[in-house]
Amino acid sequence: MPNSKVSSNEVSLFIQSKALSGDGTQIGYQSIGNGPGIIIVHGALRDSGDYTRLAKALSHSFTVHLMDRRGRGISGPQGPDYAINKECEDVQAIRKATGANYLFGHSFGGLVSLEAARKDSSITKLAVYEPGVLLHPMDDIWMSNYEKAMQRNDFRGAFAHFVRGMGNTPLSGLPFWYSRFILRMMIRGKQWHKITRLLAQNLNEHREVQSHASSYPNYEKIVSDVLLLSGGKSPKSTKEILEELNHTIADSTLETFPQLDHFGPENENEPNAMAQVLKNFFLNS
């Protein structure tokens, strides 16, 4: 899992604000730039700080609002009745506060963005990079094992169950103890401390992914102009999902970045190529 490094100078360019969501939860966001408003909706095990380089690259053409989804950063908690509709309400709260009509969602944030657009036709354009959409329900035994590990405060074990459960990784075919050992060697320090803080939220979010499995036909109701993005290094199953979404959504376009994987929009990658594609999409009629 990539480790994003951002200098304090980069962070200081952003202006922090908060919006009040429908259930009274404070949703924080960081803003930069000038022009039409675009909200970046981040993925699981992530927060607004993981997308600052992409935001900076877009800021010459847009006012970019990097939200902290509930449960992290400067936002309030997920809450006991957490569900994806709460995430959609959070996006709408930031839209109301900023006037932004464009969305860019990554991974779980892509699923949130698609759900928000399905419910609200006033979202005129959205781009999603490898959204957390499932064509079929996944084997969710790993979720039970993840939860049991969390109850024991076995965070390393919970994370190993998650990575193995997601599939599309060589670790899924290795003994559990060995997978856990490898992940412990690979992910340490600040990166691991951040993951630890977000493990409970991550489980809740992937339960929502599972609950929305096979519901992608509902996206035929989306009237927004949609740009579907993927990385050329991502697995075949991801490409199949995007192709099905492209077939389902009436006004959609599919584009691939050959050199990127699932973490393409994040800070460790060069943002200019993606920023240019997004600029062309959002600013051209």
The share of the chain scoring above pLDDT 90, in percent, equals 92
State the pLDDT confidence band at 158, using cuts at 50, 70 and 90.
very high
The three-class DSSP label of residue 264 is coil
Q: How far is CA 212 from CA 40, 112, 216, in A?
A: 21, 11, 8
Question: What would the two tokens of residue 141 be?
Answer: 């035994």
Task: Extract the runs of DSSP E, i.e. beta strands, from the chain.
Answer: 15-20, 26-33, 37-41, 63-67, 102-106, 125-129, 225-231, 252-257
**Assigned fold of 8-134+215-283:** Rossmann fold (3.40.50)
**3-class state of residue 227 by DSSP:** strand
User: What are the sequence ranges of the domains in the chain?
Assistant: 8-134+215-283, 141-210
> Tens of pLDDT along 214-269?
999 999 999 999 999 999 999 999 999 999 999 999 999 999 999 999 999 999 99
For residue 26, pLDDT beyond 60 = yes
Cα dist. 58→175, 246, 262 in Å? 43, 25, 20
